[in-house]
Structure 1
């Protein structure tokens, strides 16, 4: 059967389109990375080996080394206030004056009573001396001698009591002048002139010391055991060189700019939280740090050791694992599962998973596939320039009470 001219044209056009599609598909399959295509170019380098030290990271709060709530030692009406809210005061500076007139009157009365007791005791002493001489001459009875002796003892006791009362009343007068018990920064006044205050009850103000200041934190039982094991093994840094140094940064700071040292670890682990309380002392000469501030502290956790470091970009996340790609002698890519440590100078510490001579892909990781060949370009692991590179979280091992940090030893 003969086909019409139109039908023949349509069949020829369909065959041409089909041939073009097959050519385009074949060209796509033979592109870069496919069978027969050029191997992708990657940059490889061996891990950087350098001395580093581990630091354990904690979150804590600053506390005053000394904090005193000022309360009156006598009851009365406030006569004057002699400081400004929030100013610094030295120990002994006058803060408040309680109306001293009632106490001065009581002191005067006690002094008068002491004077009378002193006169009575003098008379009793003279009477007893005379009776003692007469007894030697058998001019008085033994009963009269004993009576005068007892009278003298009573008068001397009354005099001692009166003098003690004078001392107590003098202290009351002195206590009407409320002074700063320690040197530090004052809080605001809690009472006003004319307020009646009660001895030992009414809070008047508080004063706290700021230099030095304490940083208080809690550490996990695991961290405590780690330190104890390290102390037994002798792998902790020598306290003669740097006695448990700490570095602290505040919430709005990126660098650990505050320096201090450990001065206390509690004697028991809290049964409820499973943590133990520690404390560091920090110099604060300008008074910038104030009690209540939160901070991030790192405590020296090890002596210097040789660590392996690779760029953060060389680490690939494979589900729950961290992986680096290495290139073998035959230029075939192979994965290595890593156990990572913290960042040091912008590079990631590798605890395990790599060898010192492994060629790690540090650039072009996205183009590499396990089991495929690549073209290799030699490179070198160097710390990134400030302000460049990835910004991963500083803590990679939760929780905060057992996290680790590290840094390189000073060059």
Structure 2
């Protein structure tokens, strides 16, 4: 037989209901907060939620091959010979026969100055020479007659001597006249401007029709010999000795010329000469290299990067320079082992060429050195290889995350399911909730025991709001043992 329910006064029931709701809500929040804290792992002493994500890194393999050793310097291309063609006489530039930029041979005509004034001067000199030659010839004939008369004792010896001196005088005048003729011919030849060397003609500095002078500093045009061509570059004084050792052994030293960016090879040549003194201001030594320049890739005054091939190291182990790290103890690299655990290796470095450096110890062929992401790795920790030898590696499928059993998972039915990480913890919590429900909540709500195992109330429908705290079967118990819905 069921006992009738005793309802509390409306105001009291409403107030009690609010207090009970706040109390139960506080207990639920407190439990959720407590259960959200990570549970220590007995094996590692860390929280299950503290899942360490491996750091993504890029690696490069250590390789073994012959390694070329180079010395590098900055150089300027200089023409093997360069000549400024200038007029040697004054006059009008009446003809220009060369084309800007063309190649000319030695002695080839470039331009011509008006020759008429110099032709006239030559004619005058030649006329003077002819007159003096006639006087000389007459003086020589008189001298011959005087010698005959002197032999016959017909004239005085003084007359014969005077005639001989006069003949000598005319000989000197004729010689001077001949020099004037030669000078006039030379001046006339200067009216034709020819190429003193073979090479490439530059831009014309004077146009046809202008009056040119022998003292003009601008000149007519510049001719540069570009085949072959030379490059003057410098090396620090502490790098000079290896070069001198090669030269003493009469070994050719290969020189490579690169563009300003240092990426495009322009020409290859040989070391031609070195200077005899070091510049005290810069501590460098000048060297000259010579290039055939058959394709005309080098121009005078061009800036180039020079690489001097000094030696070849056979079977040297080398890695990317980006893998090298430094600290107070020296150089080291981070190596990714087979199990993807990071290890630190102290290394001794050898020569460097471009983005490669020789490693002399503590690194084997094929080992992976970290070249990107080294600032985020920890020795002894695992890493994730995202790039290897410049090739991206597809990311591995992420491991399925551990199910977080510290929260309530609602289901489609009206029941509320509690899922705990620990069965013991779940049972203890349920026991606490049931005790609070039976001893505190229900009495405050004005509910009394109807049967031995049930409670009832006209407000049983509100219990569904707290089902997550009261247990999965609370609302069922209310529904079964209540008199009727409100």
Q: Distance in 2 between matches of 1:337 and 1:220?
A: 26
Q: 1:216 aligns with which of 219, 232, 235?
A: 232
Q: Paired residue for 2:31?
A: 16
CA deviations 1:45-103 (Å, max 9, x no partner) are 98433222211111222111111111111111111111222222222222211111111
Paired residue for 1:207, among 202, 219, 223? Answer: 223
RMSD: 3.8
CA apart distance, 1:270: 2.0
Mind listing any 5+ residue stretches in structure 1 that lack a counterpart? 34-38, 390-411
Distance 1:167 1:338, change over 3 A: same
Q: Is the 8 Å Cα contact of residues 64 and 214 (structure 1) preserved in structure 2?
A: yes
Paired with 1:376 and 1:196, the residues of 2 have a C-alpha distance of: 80
Distance 2:338 2:109 in 1: 82
Match of 1:186 in 2: 201
Structure with the larger RCO, 1 or 2 (CA within 8 Å, 6+ apart)? 1
Q: 1:333 aligns with which of 337, 343, 355?
A: 343
In structure 1, the partner of 2:128 is 113
SS in 2 for 1:188: coil
What is the CA-CA distance between 1:310 and the residue it aligns to? 1.9
Please state how far the C-alpha of 1:27 moved relative to its aligned partner: 1.4
**Is 1:215–1:281's contact at 8 Å kept on the other side of the alignment?**
yes
| Helix, strand or coil at the partner of 2:87 | coil
Distance in 2, Cα, partners of 1:257 & 1:189:
28
Q: Does 1:151 align with 2:160?
A: no
Match of 1:402 in 2: none
The aligned residue for residue 292 of structure 1 is 301
SS at match of 1:201: coil
1:326–1:358: 8 Å Cα contact kept in structure 2? no
1:68 aligns with 2:89: no
Corresponding residue for 2:444?
none
Instruction: Give the distance between the partners of 1:327 and 1:290, measured in 2 at CA.
Output: 49
Q: Deviations over 1:270-311 (max 9, x none)?
A: 233222222111112233422122111101223445432124
Aligned partners of 1:45, 1:77: CA distance in 2, in Å? 72
- Judged with a 3 Å threshold, the aligned counterparts in structure 2 of structure 1 residues 295 and 103 are, in CA distance, closer, same or farther, namely same
1:106-145 correspondence to structure 2 within 5 Å = 106-145=121-160
Aligned positions of 1:262-341 closer than 5 A:
262-312=271-321, 314-316=323-325, 322-326=331-335, 333-336=343-346, 339=349, 341=351
Residue number among 185, 194, 199 corresponding to 1:170 in the alignment: 185
**In 2, Cα distance between the equivalents of 1:44 and 1:194?**
71
Cα separation, partners in 2 of 1:173 and 1:43, compared to 1, 3 Å: closer
Contact 2:110 2:194 in 1 (8 A): yes
- Residues 220-249 of structure 1, C-alpha deviations (whole Å, 9 max, x = no match): 222224534xx1xx6x79644xx2210111
Contact map agreement 1:324 1:361 (CA 8 A) in 2:
no
- Verify: 1:197 aligned to 2:186, yes or no: no
Alpha-carbon distance in structure 1 between the residues aligned to 2:232 and 2:58: 47
TM-score, normalised on structure 1? 0.76
- Is the 1:248–1:258 contact (alpha carbons within 8 Å) kept by the matching residues of 2? yes
Deviation at 1:208, TM superposition (A): 1.2
TM normalised by structure 2 equals: 0.65
SS of match in other structure, 1:209: strand
Distance 1:355 1:176 in 2: 76
The equivalences for 1:69-84 within 5 A come to 69-84=84-99
Partner of 1:27: 48
Q: 1:227 and 2:236 equivalent?
A: no
Q: Which runs of 5+ in 2 are unaligned?
A: 1-15, 41-46, 394-486
The answer on 1:260 being equivalent to 2:269 is yes
Q: Distance in 2 between matches of 1:332 and 1:83?
A: 71
Change (3 A) 1:315 1:153: same
Per the TM alignment, residue 252 of structure 1 is displaced from its structure 2 partner at its CA by 5.9
Provide the secondary structure at the position in 2 that maps to 1:268: strand
1:362 and 2:369 are equivalent in the alignment:
yes
Larger Rg: 2
- Tell me the residue number matched to 1:350: 358
Query: Structure 1 pair 43/175, CA: closer, same or farther in 2 (3 Å)?
Result: closer
